[in-house]
Amino acid sequence: MIWVVAAGAAVGFVFDFYRSLRKWLGWGKVMTVVGDLIFSAAALFLLFKFFLKANHLDLRFYIVWGSVLGLFLYTRILSRITLWLFFKCYRFIEACLGLILLVLKFPFKVLAVLMRPPYAALRWFSLLVFRIAEAFLGKPLTKTRKTMISFWERLFPPRTNG
């Protein structure tokens, strides 16, 4: 009977984990349906294992009532505490991941700060070269363009519909 009651409590624990994870991640409708299917499979597997341990899958009436009793006792006694612990763990994991991300980003931030002066000098130099080239080559290039256009128009005069 203890294994049967433990089966109900284990299903309650897995359901609290699933429910807290779903709430923490803010799943939509599709993910909730997929999660429900995965939870159902996990609960069935847990019940199978516990019932196998309890009486070698010899299905008796007390198995149903014992599982319901275990689930009821778990939800009344331990559910609030485990949900609180799950959310504390999620916050801790989120803080650790944020710290790891901060540590991983740090070299790139240092590199960005170190590359600002060379980038500024390169930008200034390229703009200077552009302005010098524009000053020296601007008129000859526009003159060449106009010459090419007039040459093209002389070769192929516009057609007149007539």
Report pLDDT digits (tens) over 36-84.
999 999 999 999 998 888 887 777 888 888 899 999 999 999 999 999 9
Residues with Cβ within 8 Å of 73's Cβ and at least 6 positions away in sequence, in order, are 5, 8, 9
Closest C-alpha to 11, from 81, 69, 88, 87: 69
- Domains of the chain, residue spans: 2-109
Helix, strand and coil percent figures for the chain, each rounded to 5 = 90, 0, 10
In this prediction the pTM is 0.62
Read off the pLDDT of residues 3-13 as tens digits, 9 standing for 90 and up: 889 999 999 99
Q: Taking the C-alpha atoms of 128, 133, 134 and 137 in order, what is their torsion angle to the nearest 10 degrees? A: 170
Q: Percent of the chain having pLDDT more than 70?
A: 99
